[in-house]
Amino acid sequence: MKTIFESSVAGREGCWPCDGMAEETYIPKELLRGGEIGLPSASELDVVRHFTKLSQRNYGVDGNFYPLGSCTMKYNPKFTEIVAGMPGFTRLHPVLPQLQGAGGLCQGALEVMYEIEQQLAEITGMAAYTMHPMAGAHGELTGVMLMAAYHRDKGNKTKVIVPDSAHGTNPASAAIAGYEIVSIESVDGIVSPEALAEVLDDEVAGMMMTCPNTLGLFEQNLPKVVEMLREVDALLYYDGATSTPSWARCAWATSVSTSFTGTFTRPWPPRTAAAVPVPVRWAYPNGSSRSCPSPAWQSSKTASTFSTTTTRNPSATWLRSTATSAYT
Protein backbone atom coordinates (compact mmCIF):
# COMPACT_ATOMS: atom_id res chain seq x y z
CA MET A 1 0.00 0.00 0.00
CA LYS A 2 1.35 3.43 -0.97
CA THR A 3 1.77 6.19 1.58
CA ILE A 4 -0.29 9.34 1.16
CA PHE A 5 2.88 11.11 0.04
CA GLU A 6 3.51 8.50 -2.68
CA SER A 7 -0.08 8.95 -3.88
CA SER A 8 0.29 12.74 -4.04
CA VAL A 9 -0.38 14.44 -7.38
CA ALA A 10 0.83 18.02 -7.75
CA GLY A 11 -2.05 20.50 -8.02
CA ARG A 12 -4.72 18.08 -6.81
CA GLU A 13 -6.69 19.31 -3.82
CA GLY A 14 -10.03 19.16 -2.06
CA CYS A 15 -12.85 21.67 -2.47
CA TRP A 16 -12.93 25.07 -0.77
CA PRO A 17 -16.00 26.32 1.14
CA CYS A 18 -17.01 28.44 -1.84
CA ASP A 19 -15.65 29.52 -5.22
CA GLY A 20 -13.00 32.21 -5.15
CA MET A 21 -12.55 32.05 -1.37
CA ALA A 22 -8.86 32.73 -0.71
CA GLU A 23 -7.08 31.82 2.51
CA GLU A 24 -6.62 35.51 3.33
CA THR A 25 -10.38 35.94 3.77
CA TYR A 26 -10.59 33.67 6.82
CA ILE A 27 -6.96 33.39 8.03
CA PRO A 28 -5.03 36.56 9.05
CA LYS A 29 -2.32 37.28 6.50
CA GLU A 30 0.41 37.40 9.13
CA LEU A 31 -0.38 33.80 10.08
CA LEU A 32 -0.05 32.40 6.54
CA ARG A 33 3.09 30.48 5.63
CA GLY A 34 5.15 32.03 2.89
CA GLY A 35 6.82 28.96 1.38
CA GLU A 36 5.91 25.37 0.59
CA ILE A 37 4.52 23.37 3.52
CA GLY A 38 5.63 19.95 2.29
CA LEU A 39 2.22 18.28 2.54
CA PRO A 40 0.84 15.83 -0.05
CA SER A 41 -1.66 16.98 -2.67
CA ALA A 42 -4.77 14.79 -2.88
CA SER A 43 -8.46 15.09 -3.60
CA GLU A 44 -11.07 14.49 -0.91
CA LEU A 45 -11.88 11.09 -2.43
CA ASP A 46 -8.18 10.14 -2.43
CA VAL A 47 -7.87 11.03 1.25
CA VAL A 48 -11.05 9.16 2.29
CA ARG A 49 -10.05 6.00 0.40
CA HIS A 50 -6.47 6.11 1.67
CA PHE A 51 -7.32 6.35 5.35
CA THR A 52 -10.23 3.92 5.08
CA LYS A 53 -7.90 1.28 3.60
CA LEU A 54 -5.33 2.11 6.27
CA SER A 55 -7.88 1.59 9.04
CA GLN A 56 -8.83 -1.80 7.57
CA ARG A 57 -5.27 -2.97 8.08
CA ASN A 58 -5.60 -2.48 11.85
CA TYR A 59 -6.19 -5.51 14.07
CA GLY A 60 -8.89 -4.90 16.66
CA VAL A 61 -11.86 -6.33 18.53
CA ASP A 62 -14.40 -5.14 15.97
CA GLY A 63 -13.15 -7.68 13.43
CA ASN A 64 -11.03 -10.23 15.28
CA PHE A 65 -10.50 -12.08 18.55
CA TYR A 66 -7.93 -10.28 20.67
CA PRO A 67 -6.15 -12.83 22.93
CA LEU A 68 -3.92 -11.28 25.60
CA GLY A 69 -4.17 -13.64 28.56
CA SER A 70 -5.79 -11.73 31.40
CA CYS A 71 -6.09 -8.71 29.09
CA THR A 72 -8.11 -10.55 26.44
CA MET A 73 -10.39 -7.97 24.87
CA LYS A 74 -13.95 -8.55 23.76
CA TYR A 75 -16.39 -6.63 21.59
CA ASN A 76 -17.84 -3.61 23.38
CA PRO A 77 -21.32 -2.36 22.39
CA LYS A 78 -21.11 0.96 20.56
CA PHE A 79 -23.68 2.63 22.80
CA THR A 80 -21.00 2.75 25.50
CA GLU A 81 -19.04 5.14 23.29
CA ILE A 82 -22.09 7.42 23.25
CA VAL A 83 -22.49 7.23 27.02
CA ALA A 84 -18.80 7.95 27.62
CA GLY A 85 -19.06 10.95 25.30
CA MET A 86 -22.03 12.58 27.02
CA PRO A 87 -21.38 16.28 27.72
CA GLY A 88 -22.09 15.76 31.42
CA PHE A 89 -18.88 13.71 31.56
CA THR A 90 -16.66 15.15 28.85
CA ARG A 91 -17.13 18.80 29.82
CA LEU A 92 -16.24 18.35 33.50
CA HIS A 93 -12.79 19.28 34.75
CA PRO A 94 -11.29 16.47 36.89
CA VAL A 95 -10.72 18.70 39.95
CA LEU A 96 -14.10 20.45 39.81
CA PRO A 97 -15.74 18.30 42.56
CA GLN A 98 -12.99 19.30 45.00
CA LEU A 99 -13.30 23.06 44.47
CA GLN A 100 -15.18 24.96 47.16
CA GLY A 101 -18.83 25.31 46.21
CA ALA A 102 -18.36 23.55 42.85
CA GLY A 103 -19.84 20.22 43.89
CA GLY A 104 -23.30 21.37 42.84
CA LEU A 105 -22.10 21.61 39.24
CA CYS A 106 -21.25 17.92 38.95
CA GLN A 107 -23.82 16.02 41.01
CA GLY A 108 -24.55 13.55 38.22
CA ALA A 109 -20.92 12.50 37.83
CA LEU A 110 -20.43 12.31 41.61
CA GLU A 111 -23.50 10.10 41.91
CA VAL A 112 -22.16 7.75 39.24
CA MET A 113 -18.80 7.46 41.04
CA TYR A 114 -20.46 6.90 44.42
CA GLU A 115 -22.88 4.25 43.18
CA ILE A 116 -20.20 2.37 41.22
CA GLU A 117 -17.98 2.23 44.29
CA GLN A 118 -20.84 0.92 46.45
CA GLN A 119 -21.98 -1.62 43.87
CA LEU A 120 -18.49 -2.96 43.22
CA ALA A 121 -17.96 -3.48 46.94
CA GLU A 122 -21.28 -5.34 47.22
CA ILE A 123 -20.67 -7.50 44.13
CA THR A 124 -17.11 -8.52 45.07
CA GLY A 125 -17.47 -8.64 48.85
CA MET A 126 -14.61 -6.20 49.35
CA ALA A 127 -14.72 -3.57 52.11
CA ALA A 128 -14.05 -0.46 50.03
CA TYR A 129 -12.94 0.73 46.60
CA THR A 130 -10.88 3.61 45.31
CA MET A 131 -11.86 4.87 41.88
CA HIS A 132 -8.69 6.91 41.39
CA PRO A 133 -6.39 4.64 39.31
CA MET A 134 -6.61 5.66 35.67
CA ALA A 135 -4.70 2.75 34.11
CA GLY A 136 -3.53 -0.77 34.85
CA ALA A 137 -0.06 0.17 36.12
CA HIS A 138 -1.60 2.98 38.17
CA GLY A 139 -3.87 0.39 39.79
CA GLU A 140 -0.88 -1.85 40.46
CA LEU A 141 0.99 0.97 42.20
CA THR A 142 -2.08 1.75 44.29
CA GLY A 143 -2.35 -1.89 45.34
CA VAL A 144 1.31 -2.03 46.36
CA MET A 145 0.97 1.22 48.30
CA LEU A 146 -1.98 -0.28 50.16
CA MET A 147 0.33 -3.16 51.09
CA ALA A 148 2.87 -0.63 52.32
CA ALA A 149 0.24 1.20 54.38
CA TYR A 150 -0.73 -2.07 56.03
CA HIS A 151 2.84 -2.94 56.96
CA ARG A 152 3.76 0.60 58.04
CA ASP A 153 1.64 0.17 61.17
CA LYS A 154 3.19 -3.22 61.92
CA GLY A 155 6.81 -2.69 60.90
CA ASN A 156 8.08 -2.20 57.37
CA LYS A 157 8.97 -5.02 55.00
CA THR A 158 11.29 -4.82 52.02
CA LYS A 159 10.30 -7.36 49.32
CA VAL A 160 7.49 -8.05 46.86
CA ILE A 161 7.33 -11.36 44.97
CA VAL A 162 6.34 -11.20 41.29
CA PRO A 163 5.99 -14.43 39.25
CA ASP A 164 7.24 -14.41 35.66
CA SER A 165 3.63 -15.13 34.58
CA ALA A 166 2.30 -11.87 36.08
CA HIS A 167 1.72 -8.65 34.21
CA GLY A 168 4.98 -7.23 32.91
CA THR A 169 4.41 -3.89 34.65
CA ASN A 170 4.13 -5.47 38.13
CA PRO A 171 7.89 -5.31 38.89
CA ALA A 172 8.08 -1.64 37.92
CA SER A 173 5.04 -0.75 40.03
CA ALA A 174 6.47 -2.46 43.11
CA ALA A 175 9.90 -0.89 42.52
CA ILE A 176 8.41 2.62 42.29
CA ALA A 177 6.80 1.97 45.69
CA GLY A 178 10.29 1.27 47.05
CA TYR A 179 10.28 -2.53 47.22
CA GLU A 180 12.93 -5.05 46.22
CA ILE A 181 11.57 -7.32 43.49
CA VAL A 182 11.86 -11.09 43.89
CA SER A 183 11.02 -13.01 40.70
CA ILE A 184 10.07 -16.69 40.63
CA GLU A 185 9.79 -18.94 37.59
CA SER A 186 6.53 -20.67 36.74
CA VAL A 187 6.15 -24.42 36.41
CA ASP A 188 3.90 -25.48 33.54
CA GLY A 189 2.78 -21.87 33.27
CA ILE A 190 1.57 -21.39 36.87
CA VAL A 191 3.08 -20.52 40.26
CA SER A 192 4.70 -23.45 42.03
CA PRO A 193 4.35 -23.58 45.86
CA GLU A 194 7.79 -25.18 46.00
CA ALA A 195 9.38 -22.28 44.08
CA LEU A 196 7.54 -19.80 46.31
CA ALA A 197 8.79 -21.52 49.46
CA GLU A 198 12.41 -20.96 48.38
CA VAL A 199 12.05 -17.15 48.43
CA LEU A 200 9.37 -16.61 51.07
CA ASP A 201 10.58 -15.05 54.34
CA ASP A 202 9.57 -12.48 56.94
CA GLU A 203 10.76 -9.59 54.73
CA VAL A 204 8.13 -10.30 52.06
CA ALA A 205 5.41 -7.62 52.15
CA GLY A 206 3.25 -9.24 49.51
CA MET A 207 2.92 -10.96 46.17
CA MET A 208 1.48 -9.76 42.87
CA MET A 209 -0.37 -12.30 40.72
CA THR A 210 -2.49 -12.06 37.58
CA CYS A 211 -5.78 -13.85 36.86
CA PRO A 212 -5.75 -15.43 34.41
CA ASN A 213 -2.01 -14.98 34.06
CA THR A 214 -0.18 -13.67 31.03
CA LEU A 215 -0.26 -17.16 29.48
CA GLY A 216 -4.05 -17.22 29.83
CA LEU A 217 -3.98 -19.84 32.62
CA PHE A 218 -5.75 -19.78 35.98
CA GLU A 219 -3.53 -20.27 39.02
CA GLN A 220 -4.62 -23.69 40.30
CA ASN A 221 -2.34 -23.48 43.34
CA LEU A 222 -3.82 -20.20 44.55
CA PRO A 223 -5.30 -21.52 47.87
CA LYS A 224 -1.92 -22.98 48.84
CA VAL A 225 -0.08 -19.83 47.76
CA VAL A 226 -2.33 -17.64 49.93
CA GLU A 227 -1.91 -20.00 52.89
CA MET A 228 1.85 -19.66 52.58
CA LEU A 229 1.69 -15.86 52.30
CA ARG A 230 -0.44 -15.61 55.44
CA GLU A 231 2.17 -17.52 57.42
CA VAL A 232 4.55 -14.56 57.02
CA ASP A 233 1.82 -11.86 57.15
CA ALA A 234 2.23 -11.06 53.44
CA LEU A 235 -0.62 -9.69 51.34
CA LEU A 236 -1.79 -10.67 47.86
CA TYR A 237 -2.57 -8.26 45.03
CA TYR A 238 -4.56 -10.02 42.29
CA ASP A 239 -4.29 -8.25 38.96
CA GLY A 240 -6.35 -8.57 35.80
CA ALA A 241 -7.94 -6.56 33.01
CA THR A 242 -11.35 -8.19 33.52
CA SER A 243 -13.50 -9.00 36.53
CA THR A 244 -12.03 -12.49 36.83
CA PRO A 245 -9.65 -11.64 39.70
CA SER A 246 -12.61 -10.25 41.64
CA TRP A 247 -14.65 -13.42 41.30
CA ALA A 248 -11.73 -15.78 41.75
CA ARG A 249 -10.22 -14.08 44.76
CA CYS A 250 -13.25 -13.86 47.01
CA ALA A 251 -11.82 -15.86 49.90
CA TRP A 252 -8.15 -15.12 49.30
CA ALA A 253 -6.86 -11.83 47.92
CA THR A 254 -6.50 -8.67 50.00
CA SER A 255 -6.66 -6.31 47.02
CA VAL A 256 -7.62 -6.78 43.37
CA SER A 257 -7.95 -4.67 40.25
CA THR A 258 -11.07 -4.59 38.09
CA SER A 259 -10.60 -2.88 34.73
CA PHE A 260 -13.54 -0.84 33.46
CA THR A 261 -12.30 -1.54 29.94
CA GLY A 262 -12.35 -5.33 30.07
CA THR A 263 -15.32 -5.76 32.42
CA PHE A 264 -17.66 -2.79 32.01
CA THR A 265 -17.08 -2.01 28.30
CA ARG A 266 -15.48 1.37 28.85
CA PRO A 267 -13.98 2.57 25.52
CA TRP A 268 -10.43 1.31 25.07
CA PRO A 269 -7.47 3.73 24.82
CA PRO A 270 -6.27 5.84 23.13
CA ARG A 271 -9.68 7.58 23.17
CA THR A 272 -9.88 7.33 26.96
CA ALA A 273 -7.75 6.10 29.81
CA ALA A 274 -8.59 2.69 31.26
CA ALA A 275 -10.10 3.18 34.72
CA VAL A 276 -9.00 0.47 37.14
CA PRO A 277 -10.83 0.57 40.51
CA VAL A 278 -8.80 -1.02 43.32
CA PRO A 279 -10.40 -2.34 46.53
CA VAL A 280 -9.28 -3.58 49.93
CA ARG A 281 -10.72 -6.69 51.49
CA TRP A 282 -11.10 -5.70 55.13
CA ALA A 283 -11.81 -2.64 57.27
CA TYR A 284 -8.56 -0.91 58.26
CA PRO A 285 -7.72 0.58 60.70
CA ASN A 286 -9.97 0.66 63.77
CA GLY A 287 -12.92 -0.91 61.96
CA SER A 288 -13.16 1.86 59.38
CA SER A 289 -14.33 0.71 55.94
CA ARG A 290 -12.56 3.68 54.35
CA SER A 291 -9.15 2.13 53.82
CA CYS A 292 -8.48 3.31 50.26
CA PRO A 293 -6.77 6.54 49.21
CA SER A 294 -8.79 9.73 49.58
CA PRO A 295 -10.70 11.69 48.47
CA ALA A 296 -13.75 9.44 48.60
CA TRP A 297 -17.22 9.90 47.23
CA GLN A 298 -19.88 10.28 49.92
CA SER A 299 -23.65 10.68 50.02
CA SER A 300 -25.48 13.09 52.31
CA LYS A 301 -27.78 11.41 54.85
CA THR A 302 -30.17 14.34 54.84
CA ALA A 303 -30.41 15.11 51.12
CA SER A 304 -29.79 13.49 47.78
CA THR A 305 -26.47 15.24 47.24
CA PHE A 306 -22.98 13.89 46.64
CA SER A 307 -19.59 15.31 47.58
CA THR A 308 -15.97 14.35 48.19
CA THR A 309 -14.11 13.87 51.45
CA THR A 310 -10.40 13.70 52.22
CA THR A 311 -10.76 12.23 55.71
CA ARG A 312 -10.93 8.49 55.12
CA ASN A 313 -8.46 7.42 57.81
CA PRO A 314 -4.80 7.82 58.90
CA SER A 315 -3.57 5.39 56.25
CA ALA A 316 -4.90 7.67 53.50
CA THR A 317 -2.65 10.51 54.67
CA TRP A 318 0.31 8.15 54.65
CA LEU A 319 -0.58 6.94 51.17
CA ARG A 320 -0.55 10.49 49.82
CA SER A 321 2.83 11.23 51.41
CA THR A 322 4.23 7.97 50.06
CA ALA A 323 2.99 8.75 46.57
CA THR A 324 4.79 12.10 46.75
CA SER A 325 8.07 10.64 48.03
CA ALA A 326 7.99 7.81 45.50
CA TYR A 327 8.19 10.24 42.59
CA THR A 328 10.69 12.72 44.10
CATH number, domain of 156, equals: 3.40.640.10
On whether both 177 and 284 belong to a single domain, the answer is: yes
Query: pLDDT, tens digit, for every residue of 27-71?
Result: 788 888 888 888 899 999 999 999 999 988 887 777 777 766 666
On whether both 123 and 48 belong to a single domain, the answer is: no
On whether both 259 and 192 belong to a single domain, the answer is: yes
Answer whether residue 65 is part of any domain. no
Q: What's residue 51's pLDDT?
A: 93
How many other C-beta atoms can be found within 10 angstroms of the C-beta atom of residue 17?
A: 7
Q: What's residue 316's pLDDT?
A: 39
Total structural domains within the chain: 2
What percent of the chain is predicted at pLDDT more than 90? 23
Answer whether residue 75 is part of any domain. no
Burial bucket for residue 175 (CB in 10 Å: 0-12, 13-18, 19+): middle
Partners of residue 280 on adjacent β-strands: 128
- Which amino acid, one-letter code, is at 163? P
On whether both 187 and 223 belong to a single domain, the answer is: yes
Q: What's residue 183's pLDDT?
A: 95
Q: What's residue 254's pLDDT?
A: 55
On whether both 10 and 90 belong to a single domain, the answer is: no
Final residue in a domain of this structure, among 40, 58, 76: 58
Answer whether residue 149 is part of any domain. yes
On whether both 54 and 184 belong to a single domain, the answer is: no
Between 125 and 326, name the one with better pLDDT: 125
Q: In this model, does residue 213 exceed pLDDT 90?
A: no
Answer whether residue 72 is part of any domain. no
Q: What mean pLDDT do residues 6-29 have?
A: 75
On whether both 26 and 107 belong to a single domain, the answer is: no
On whether both 101 and 49 belong to a single domain, the answer is: no
How, if at all, do strands 235-239 and 255-256 pair? parallel
Confidence of residue 131 (pLDDT cuts 50, 70, 90): confident
Query: pLDDT, tens digit, for every residue of 177-198?
Result: 999 999 999 999 999 999 999 9
Q: Are 76 and 268 in contact (CB under 8 A)?
A: yes
On whether both 42 and 146 belong to a single domain, the answer is: no
Answer whether residue 208 is part of any domain. yes
Q: Are 266 and 272 in contact (CB under 8 A)?
A: yes
On whether both 20 and 106 belong to a single domain, the answer is: no
Nearest to 237, CA basis, from 178, 157, 170:
170
How many other C-beta atoms can be found within 10 angstroms of the C-beta atom of residue 100?
A: 5
Cα distances (Å, whole numbers) of residue 44 to 2, 24, 26, 56: 17, 22, 21, 19
Domain range for residue 162?
84-326
d(CA 200, CA 197): 5
Final residue in a domain of this structure, among 43, 58, 73: 58
d(CA 102, CA 100): 6
Answer whether residue 69 is part of any domain. no
On whether both 91 and 45 belong to a single domain, the answer is: no
On whether both 268 and 214 belong to a single domain, the answer is: yes
Answer whether residue 177 is part of any domain. yes
Give CA 244 to chain center in angstroms: 15
Burial bucket for residue 297 (CB in 10 Å: 0-12, 13-18, 19+): buried
Answer whether residue 308 is part of any domain. yes
- Buried residues in 218-254 as b, exposed as e (16+ CB within 10 A): ebeebeebbebbeeeebbbbbbbbbbbbbebbeebbb
pTM score, whole prediction:
0.68
